């Protein structure tokens, strides 16, 4: 019988046993990290040794690691082993500042490929699939990370890379691609490229999309699924934790299983740094358990999410993360109100008259914060009455969600500048003063 699981023993491991495995791996990771000039003195000061770890709660004794630590030790200052054993480096996309460098041994790369292959298997991809990757093959982990994993799965892989939508359209059509890896904003753009060629994406061979790397709402996912007539699965990864392959939805599409054999998961209140009760939102803090070149302890991802309570019907025992609200540094404070871009997206996506691109601009006008939301129309129209009513309705619904009244501007296709990589949703002009 064909298994439902890539690694049934690990994926369905009873929680007690899984915790035991985590403890063993944490001890091993501490031993490795004693070779890190960054961690060694901290461990000494806090009396952290492999033997001092008795339970998973001992994680609370560890120091936090932040993006700033990675920057201040740039490029190799956190490495736990000598560079002769390191075979590759990657860096984050630098969405929120200078990039950071992550090192990998051959074993790290193998484990990473295996975790992402497991993730692909989890959403139903098999060696019979043809997987086309739309991520850039450079420092960004979405390129090579997906490539090696798809090969590990045994699928036929099309390393088409970022950009050039016409070429993607041709490859999908010619090769009969069954699965795509892309960021959600590109899933929309590629669908538009098909439509421009007079091909309905629903009539292509694509049945599965792996979407991730940027926050997106459930409504956005539904849109992508309808556009493509395919299933779109939310996939979470970050360079610091290796890249894609950290957590993925199963076919239930209800939360992303985070592979706990590889990570210790904490959800903490970002201010007090104390754990929040299960089900409540907080900052995701991760400890690597299966990496040797550059293990990270209690890494503050700044991503806001929660653990979904209860068991998953798929049989996997690894905890599920809720859809991300965004990063703590995505939060905008406008007129004293805390707002996340994803709240605005959620409302905009409810309007079928709108396409998927939007841009939020915040500026100071007469000493007051003003927010403008530009949203792209799905179809051009010069019926001003209709446009007026539509923008009124959008303003009203946005106001009930974010509690302030934005200026809503409906714009034609192509007016909102498109970014090469992850979509830029907010233009905060206040910070430039
Ligand atoms: P950068 O931090 O420069 O963007 P990465 O490419 O490592 O570099 O991106 C990791 C970040 O991308 C995560 O911390 C998270 O904010 C975001 N991200 C990744 N996957 C998802 C997802 N499925 N949903 C929401 N956000 C995601
Ligand atoms: Zn599941």
The pLDDT tens digits for 377-419 are 999 888 999 999 999 999 999 999 999 999 999 999 889 988 8
Is the CB of residue 217 below 6 angstroms from any atom belonging to ligand 1? no
Check whether 430 has a pLDDT greater than 50.
yes
CATH number assigned to the domain with residue range 331-428, chosen from the 4 options 3.40.50.720, 1.10.645.10, 3.30.300.30, 3.40.50.300: 3.30.300.30
Coil, strand or helix at 382: coil
What mean pLDDT do residues 421-426 have? 88
- 3-state SS record for 211-271: EECCCCCHHHHHHHHHHHCCEEEEEEEEHHHCEEEEEEECCCCCCEEECCCCEEEEEECCC
pLDDT of residue 433: 41
d(CA 272, CA 359): 33
Alpha helix (H) residue ranges in 254-383? 341-348
Q: What percent of the chain has pLDDT over 70?
A: 98
What mean pLDDT do residues 320-327 have? 94
How confident is the prediction for the chain on average, in pLDDT?
A: 95
Q: Which ligand is nearest to the CA of 183?
A: 1
Residue at token pair 């805390």: 338
Per-residue model confidence as pLDDT tens digits over 201-234: 999 999 999 999 999 999 999 999 999 999 999 9
d(CA 123, CA 5): 10
For ligand 1, what atom is nearest to the CA of residue 240? 7
> Phi and psi (nearest 5°) for 119?
-65, -40
Check whether 143 has a pLDDT greater than 80.
yes
Q: Say how many Å lie between the CA of residue 338 and the centre of ligand 2.
A: 32
**pTM score of the predicted model:** 0.92
Domain ranges of the chain: 1-328, 331-428
Q: Does domain 1-328 have CATH number 3.40.50.12780?
A: yes
Is the CB of residue 92 below 6 angstroms from any atom belonging to ligand 1? yes
Q: Say how many Å lie between the CA of residue 213 and the centre of ligand 1.
A: 4
What mean pLDDT do residues 4-32 have? 98
Where does the pLDDT of residue 93 fall: very low under 50, low under 70, confident under 90, or very high at 90 and above?
low
- For 232-250, give one letter per residue: b (16+ CB within 10 A) or e: bbbbbbbbbbbbbbbbbbb
Q: Is 422 left (phi over 0), alpha (psi -120 to 50) or beta?
A: beta
What mean pLDDT do residues 59-63 have? 98
pLDDT of residue 421: 82
d(CA 171, CA 166): 9
Residue whose CA lies nearest to ligand 1 atom number 10: 238
pLDDT of residue 95: 66
> Phi and psi (nearest 5°) for 385?
-60, -45
Q: Say how many Å lie between the CA of residue 379 and the centre of ligand 1.
A: 31
Q: Which residue in 125, 123, 186 sits closest to 153, CA to CA?
A: 125
Is the CB of residue 238 below 6 angstroms from any atom belonging to ligand 1? yes
Domains 1-328 and 331-428 share a fold: no
């Amino acid at each position: 019988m064909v298994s439902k699981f890539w690694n049934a023993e690990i994926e369905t491991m009873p929680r007690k046993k899984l915790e035991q495995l985590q403890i063993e791996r944490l001890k091993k990771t501490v031993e490795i990290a004693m070779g890190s000039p960054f961690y060694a003195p901290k461990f000494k000061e806090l009396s952290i040794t492999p033997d001092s770890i008795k339970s998973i709660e001992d994680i609370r004794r560890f120091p936090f690691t932040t993006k700033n630590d990675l920057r201040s030790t740039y490029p190799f200052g956190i490495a736990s082993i000598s560079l002769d054993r390191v075979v590759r480096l990657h860096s984050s996309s630098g969405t929120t500042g200078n990039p950071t460098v992550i090192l990998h041994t051959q074993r790290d790369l193998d484990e990473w490929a295996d975790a992402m292959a497991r993730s692909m298997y989890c959403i139903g991809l098999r060696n019979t699939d043809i997987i086309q990757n739309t991520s850039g093959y450079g420092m960004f982990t979405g390129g090579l990370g997906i490539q090696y994993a798809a090969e590990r799965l045994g699928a036929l892989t099309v390393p088409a890379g970022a950009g050039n939508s016409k070429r993607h359209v041709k490859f999908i059509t010619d090769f009969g691609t069954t699965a795509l890896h892309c960021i959600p904003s590109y899933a929309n753009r590629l669908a538009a490229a098909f439509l421009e060629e007079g091909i309905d994406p629903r009539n292509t061979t694509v049945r599965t999309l792996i979407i991730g790397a940027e926050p997106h709402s459930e409504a956005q996912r539904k849109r992508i699924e309808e556009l493509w007539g395919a299933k779109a699965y939310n996939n979470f990864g970050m360079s610091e934790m290796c890249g894609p392959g950290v957590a993925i939805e199963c076919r239930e599409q209800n939360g992303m299983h985070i592979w706990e054999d590889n990570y210790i998961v904490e959800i903490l209140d970002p201010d007090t740094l104390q754990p929040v009760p299960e089900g409540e939102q907080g900052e995701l803090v991760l400890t690597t358990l299966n990496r040797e070149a550059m293990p990270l302890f209690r890494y503050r991802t700044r991503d806001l999410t929660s653990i979904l309570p209860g068991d998953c019907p798929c049989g996997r025992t690894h905890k599920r993360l809720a859809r991300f609200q965004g990063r703590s540094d995505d939060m905008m404070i406008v007129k004293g109100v805390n707002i996340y871009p994803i709240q605005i997206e959620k409302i905009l996506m409810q309007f079928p008259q709108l396409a998927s691109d939007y841009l939020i601009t915040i500026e100071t006008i007469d000493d007051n914060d003003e927010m403008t939301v530009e949203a792209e129309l799905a179809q051009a129209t010069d019926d001003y009455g209709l446009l007026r009513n539509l923008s009124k309705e959008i303003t009203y619904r946005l106001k009930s969600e974010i509690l302030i009244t934005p200026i809503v501007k409906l714009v034609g296709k192509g007016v909102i500048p498109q970014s090469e990589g992850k979509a830029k949703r907010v233009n905060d002009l206040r910070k430039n003063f």
